[in-house]
Structures are given as C-alpha cells and as structure tokens.
Amino acid sequence: MAIVRYKPSDLKIELATIERSLGAGALKNYLPNPDPILIKSGLKETILDEIASNANVSAAMDSRKSKTLSKEWKLLQKEVPDAEMLIYDKMLGELDVYGIIEQVLNTPFYGRQIFEVNWSLLDKWIPTEIISKPLNWFIFMPDGVMKYITKENSKGIELPELKFIAARHRPSFSNPYGEALLMKCYWSFYIQNQMKKLWLVYAEKYGMPMIEAKFDPNDILELFNLDKGKEEEAAELLITMLNNAVQDSAIALPKSIETTLTQRSSQSDINTFRLLIKQSVDEISKVILGHTGAAETTSGRLGNEDTALEVRDDLTQQDQRLVEDVFNRVIKWVAAVNFNPEIYPVFQLYEEDDVELISKQAEVAKTLKETGITFTKKYYETHFNLKEDDFELTIAEPTKTLEQLELLEVAEKKSEVLESRKTLEEFTDMFIEPKLQTKLLNTMVQPVIDYVNGSKDYETMLSNVHKLFPDLPTAEFEETVEGLLRSAYIQGEDSIDVELDVELDKELNVKPE
C-alpha cells in the first residue's frame, strides 16, 4: 500500500474539489460497490438520496440521529500537559462540532462518509475544517485502498496521509464501501411509492360514486329533440349532462328519468392499499431504528415503547462510537504533527443523566458484591462505559460483616488488656521479689539518700540533681514509663468496663455465671 507523504504546507490545501472531480464515465481497475440490490436492480448509488427524501425514511433517520445529537461532548485530558490541551481546545473551537457529528451520523444510512481535513497554522498545525465530500468522488481498490477520482485520472489518485477520513458502517474485506441501511429500505420504498400511485389511480377511477340513470328511449329523444333512431346519440348526450352535473353539483331532468348514486369501491379494497403501505413503513422503521415503535403509537402500550427505546439505545451506542472514532483519529493526527504521538486526549460523547445512572449502577454493583457475587471485566465495560485497557481486576480481601468486625474488635481489645496486665505484673514483681528489692535499693534508692544528705542546701541539691545518674539511658527510660502508663490506663479502663457490666447486671437482675 503506497502512502503519499505530507508536507506541512500541503495540509491547508483542499484536494477534493468539484473542479477536479470526474463526472459520468467508465472506470476500470477498481472494485465497484458490491451491494446485492445495486447489482441486481442495476441502480446507481444516487438512488440513496431519493430514498432518504421519502417522508417516512427521513423521519426515521432524524429520529435515530437526534439521540446522538442530544448528547454533550468533552475531552478527557488523561496525561496531556495543560499547555497542549489549550491547542486541542482551540481546534474544537474552530470546528463546527455538531455539524460534523450530524454528517458522521449519515454513515450507517449510506454505508460510509468521506471527510477531508483542512489544516491551518494557529500557533500549531490544527484542523480548522472537516468537510464531508460526495461519495461518488471516491473508489476502493481490490486491496481496500481508497482513491480519489479526477477528470485527469479516472483510475483514481493516491490520497495523502492526514487528509482524508473514511467513516464506514460494517465494512468487510469483500465490501469496503460499508453496509448502507438505505439500500435495505429500497424495496419497501419502492412498494410504498407504487402503492400510492395505484391508490391515486384507483381513487380517481373508483373513489367517486357513479351516477346510474334509468330512462325510456322515447323520453330522451324528446329531451334532446332528436328523431327516432338516434337513441344512442341521445344516451351519449345524457351521459355528458350527468358528468357535468358532478362538477356543477346541479342538474334538471324530466321526471321520467331516474338517477341513483352507486358506490363502486369497498372498504376491503382500500384496506389492501393501506396495509401494504403500512407494512412498508414498518419495515423502514425496523431497518433504521431496529423496531417499529415509531410507526406504531398504540395508546396504553408503554411496555412495548420502552422495549423499542432500549433497542434504539443499542443502535445509538454504535452511532456514538462512529462519531468518537472520527474525532479521536483527528486528535491523534494533531498529536503526531505537533506533540508526542503517544499522548493525546480522548473525545467522548455523554448524556447529563449518565453520571447519575452510573452512580446508581455502582450502588447496585456494590450491594451485589457484598453478597459474594464476582463481576467480570465485560460487566464493567458494559455498565460503566469503560474500555478494556482502562482498568485491571484485582483480588480484594473479602468484605467483613458488621458482626465479624465487632468480634474482631473485641478480640483485639482482649489481647491488648492481657498484654498490659502482663507488663504491669512484671513491673510490680520488681518490688515484691526480695532479691530485686535489694538490687533496686542499692542501685536506685541509696544513691538518692546519700545525695540528699550530702547537699549543703536545697538550692544546691536541685541544681545538681541531673548529675546523680549521668549514665542513665533517658530515651529508654521515657519509653518504659510511657509503656507502663499506657498499660495502667488500659488496665484501669478494663476495670471500669467490668464494674459497669456488674452494675448493669444488678439493675437487670442478671445472675452472674
């Protein structure tokens, strides 16, 4: 596949123009649109515009587009520096965003939409126009490469990179032109038009009542003052008079001529046309919207309408992805031309209600997870609009119930009380054990007594008390004292809890175990 390299100055030149485009002419060495209806009927793609102009088709198209056009858009900054984000914001400010979105939304109907991107140098090279081009200006080669056909080159010219975007609906190797929904509406469109024509002919011929006249031949000869033997001529004159009566709404006839109105059509005949037209309208709605709800508005059937909207939302998500793909491709181009091609923001469509809906879904997911349910990545992608590369699932510790947390807290408290009791018991043992008492007296108490007795006065004793134990490890001493105080506090707190429990048992007349 050959790629035409760009130069910055080439980016602002519009290549696909009316002046250069090829009119009607035979083309060779390219892949024609393989749509089976186009091939079998011998039609050209221009029939799609005629189908789109049909009132029912147009209404269905507008209905489908409106769901996506009603969404807001935003740029997700991700790792893009603030200075670069200003450039992307400027680009979208220059573009007619919703006008482009509406053009992209034609993609499912025509199978594809071709856009030319025109660039301008505004501090950086940014697209300032994204223009939809006529589909018949472009062809696809057997290898899937798109070319632009011109008057000078009917075989098509190579397209430069960073200039053209082809948005396509369900393209395939055998059909790179994409699948056109309007082509699927062709037979319904054709039948609807034919039925309307036949109905008009039928209404003109049989819709008006027929005037039936009963007469005596001699009476009409006398009426038109004709000789005997000219009864046929007299009958023709009477028919002309009756036809004029339909337009004039008045006629004067002899009493001997009796006229009656005869209805020539029946309700069943009319229903035949009506049902065929309705069937074609329903099929058009089903192709474009995925349901016939737009054509059927039966009162009291809200459940059916809700189902229809749900299917339609599924198609709207497909349309949304088409739009986001076009803008994100352009954004990647801007990053490649001006910045780091690996770091760029993401264009995203969203509804104002999306945030509230996702919050509700998150609450439901949290409740279900607390019951032991484990969700897959597909669940998060579907319900929270996440992409596969946006997150990873990790195995979290099982959530404890309130009862389990209370039991754990009681166990920790009990362990802490037992540990503090052991510390205090070891400390008090120093004063009870005879050997330890003697050691404590000789090393700690006696030096203090000797120091006090040897001091000249009270002030001298206080000023030199720090010299009494010069080698005392103060940090360890402070730590030991703090530990003892903490243990005494815990032990005291536990004693109070026990006393309160005893008092409460007395009030409730509970016997101790």
pLDDT of 278-287, one tens digit each? 888 889 999 9
Taking the C-alpha atoms of residue 166 and residue 149, their distance in angstroms, rounded to an integer, is: 15
CA dihedral 61, 187, 113, 144 (to 10 degrees): 150
Q: In Å, what is the CA distance from 3 to each residue of 142, 173, 336, 370, 501?
A: 16, 20, 16, 55, 86
Residues sharing a CB contact under 8 Å with residue 168, sequence separation 6 or more, in sequence order: 107, 111, 112, 176, 177, 178
pLDDT one-digit tens code per residue, 322-356: 999 999 999 999 999 999 999 999 999 998 766 66
Taking the C-alpha atoms of residue 142 and residue 176, their distance in angstroms, rounded to an integer, is: 9
pTM: 0.58
> Is residue 247 predicted with pLDDT exceeding 50?
yes
Strand partners, 157: 148
What is the pLDDT at residue 273? Answer: 77
Residues sharing a CB contact under 8 Å with residue 155, sequence separation 6 or more, in sequence order: 27, 28, 29, 30, 147, 149
| Confidence label for 37 from pLDDT (cuts 50, 70 and 90) | confident
What is the pLDDT at residue 309? Answer: 42
Q: Of the given ranges (141-150, 384-393, 420-429, 452-461), which has the lowest mean pLDDT?
A: 420-429
Taking the C-alpha atoms of residue 28 and residue 281, their distance in angstroms, rounded to an integer, is: 38
| Confidence label for 2 from pLDDT (cuts 50, 70 and 90) | very low
> Is residue 115 predicted with pLDDT exceeding 50?
yes
Task: Express the helix, strand and coil content of the chain in percent, nearest 5 each.
Answer: 60, 10, 30
Please give the average per-residue pLDDT across 219-229, as a whole number. 77
- Residue 247 structure tokens: 């337009």
Q: In Å, what is the CA distance from 19 to each residue of 149, 200, 506?
A: 12, 43, 104
Give the residue, 494 or 79, on which the prediction is more confident: 79
What is the pLDDT at residue 392? Answer: 73
Taking the C-alpha atoms of residue 357 and residue 320, their distance in angstroms, rounded to an integer, is: 18
pLDDT one-digit tens code per residue, 474-488: 666 566 666 656 666
Among 93, 97, 111, smallest CA distance to 69 is for 97
pLDDT one-digit tens code per residue, 415-474: 766 676 666 566 666 555 666 666 666 666 677 677 677 777 767 766 776 666 666 666
> Is residue 167 predicted with pLDDT exceeding 90?
yes
Please give the average per-residue pLDDT across 178-198, as a whole number. 89
- Please provide the DSSP assignment of 133-171 as one string: E-GGGEEE-TTS-EEE-BSS-TT-BPPBTTTEEEEESS-
| Confidence label for 302 from pLDDT (cuts 50, 70 and 90) | very low
Q: Please answer whether residues 227 and 164 qualify as being in contact, where contact means their C-beta atoms are separated by less than 8 angstroms.
A: no
| Confidence label for 308 from pLDDT (cuts 50, 70 and 90) | very low
Please give the average per-residue pLDDT across 20-33, as a whole number. 60
What is the pLDDT at residue 254? Answer: 72
| Confidence label for 131 from pLDDT (cuts 50, 70 and 90) | very high
For CA atoms 306, 310, 312, 313, the dihedral sign is: positive
Q: Please answer whether residues 54 and 196 qualify as being in contact, where contact means their C-beta atoms are separated by less than 8 angstroms.
A: no
Residues sharing a CB contact under 8 Å with residue 331, sequence separation 6 or more, in sequence order: 88, 344, 345, 346, 347
Mean pLDDT of the chain: 77
> Is residue 188 predicted with pLDDT exceeding 70?
yes
For CA atoms 404, 408, 410, 411, the dihedral sign is: positive
| Confidence label for 295 from pLDDT (cuts 50, 70 and 90) | very low
Give the residue, 140 or 400, on which the prediction is more confident: 140
- Considering only the C-alpha atoms of the chain, give the largest distance between any 2 of them, rounded to a whole number of Å: 176
- Alpha helices by DSSP H, 231-374: 231-248, 267-289, 302-338, 352-370
- Residue 443 structure tokens: 């090393």
Q: Please answer whether residues 91 and 126 qualify as being in contact, where contact means their C-beta atoms are separated by less than 8 angstroms.
A: yes
What is the pLDDT at residue 329? Answer: 97
Taking the C-alpha atoms of residue 139 and residue 474, their distance in angstroms, rounded to an integer, is: 90
Taking the C-alpha atoms of residue 355 and residue 365, their distance in angstroms, rounded to an integer, is: 15
